[in-house]
Chain A
């Protein structure tokens, strides 16, 4: 059975801190790894990673994938209170079909 494990499950930091969120996976047919931010309801897309070692960046957020060690990290620098959310890691392992297997998420709280 496909499995995605995120750590830590929750994290409390102060504004300006840098955080690293972890995601490890075991899937039978890896296609890509995705990061989402979920504030209230709909998860919003952050990154899609398919190749090892290539960092994706968007402002203060960045992510990288290691397909040999089967993990990914999401970094957030200079955190702001607006970064408070649940961060979800998901792996697309659908093969000829398609499905996302999600981790439980990391609840990030950024205090002023």
Chain B
């Protein structure tokens, strides 16, 4: 059973450029959440996608956008990159159970983005 996969593993971009990160959820999962983890910090919630729509968003500017495809995979796009966008970007997948008060997220290995 394939877990959460992310690509690329790492990349280096220049300030002002745009980047697209990709995530495939764990088999059977329908919800994808994206997190940004700066060095020495815990992950910060960017947004979550379910049924191809953004369902909730954290405190991130509009430069951060996303998309979910019919096969539940997702992309995170960041425009006009800043040095401060350098971080590990984690994707997490889960199965949405509205009747369940809590459910677990499985994390992918992350994409290490360096902005120079």
Contact = CB atoms under 8 A, between A and B. Distances in A.
Interface stretch (A12-20, A53-61, A70-78, A95-103): A95-103
Contact of B55 (A41, A97, A104): A97
Interface residues of B, number: 31
Interface residues of A, number: 27
Interface string B75-116: 000000000000010101010101001111111111010000
Contact of A102 (B43, B56, B96, B108): B43
Interface of B: 4, 31, 33, 35, 40-45, 48, 55-56, 58, 88, 90, 92, 94, 96, 98, 101-110, 112
Given A41-B90, A43-B43, A105-B41, 14 more contacts: A4-B42, A31-B101, A32-B101, A34-B104, A43-B107, A45-B104, A88-B42, A90-B43, A96-B98, A99-B45, A99-B56, A100-B35, A100-B45, A104-B42
